[in-house]
Amino acid sequence: MRILAGIGGLAILAAVAVAIFFLGGFYSVAGAEPDLNLVHWALARVRTVSINRHAGDQPPAGLDDPARLQAGARAFATIGCVNCHGAPGVKWAKFSEGLHPDPPDLKELASDRTVAQLFWVIKNGINMTGMPSFALAGAKDEEIWQIVAFLKKLPGVSEADYKIWTAAR
């Protein structure tokens, strides 16, 4: 009985300490603060399994149609992605170096993800990171699928092609 009471007392003390740490302002929300390895690992894991479970949308027929892919390049260039993720021949905006977590290189990432996963992330964003929800920002599903089509081909897109596809018309 005494042992149980001791454990209960310790649990209450621990809860109070945690509350003081977070609600007393001791925890730093600074983006410049590095994450502990364990926190970094846990956040990445939670993100990956969450995206895997939620991403179930079916792509439209003919996803890799050249017209759709080129429209995707234009959308990618105009909607803001390029600021944080860069594009063939286009540098990431300087401010993206201040994002925490930092935005991945989509050329490398896109082949690791299914089209449904890419679609879901672009549509919904990733909470508490700099990755916005483009559905909230007004993008229609078709426009998001166009961007997905473009991302899937990204490793093979030359700077010259990207320039032509995104030229103002």
For ligand HEC, the binding residues (CB under 6 A) are 47, 51, 79-81, 83-85, 99, 101, 103-104, 106, 109, 113, 117-118, 121-122, 126, 129-132, 134, 147
- Is the Cβ of residue 8 or residue 53 nearer to ligand HEC in the bound state? 53
138 C-beta neighbours (distance < 10 Å), count: 8
* Distance of closest approach, residue 5 Cβ to ligand HEC, in angstroms: 43
Name the nearest CA neighbour of 139 among 121, 154, 151, 160: 121
What is the closest distance, in whole angstroms, from the C-beta atom of residue 128 to ligand HEC in the complex? 9
C-beta nearest to ligand HEC: residue: 81
The nearer residue to ligand HEC, 92 or 163, going by C-beta atoms, is: 92
Least separation in angstroms between CB 160 and ligand HEC: 21
3-state secondary structure 56-124: CCCCCCCCCCHHHHHHHHHHHHHHCHHHHHCECCECCCHHHHHCCCCCCCHHHHHHHCCHHHHHHHHHH
Q: From the CB of 164, what's the least distance to ligand HEC, in Å? A: 20
- H helix or E strand, kind and range, residue 51: helix 37-54
Q: Closer CB to ligand HEC, residue 111 or residue 158?
A: 111
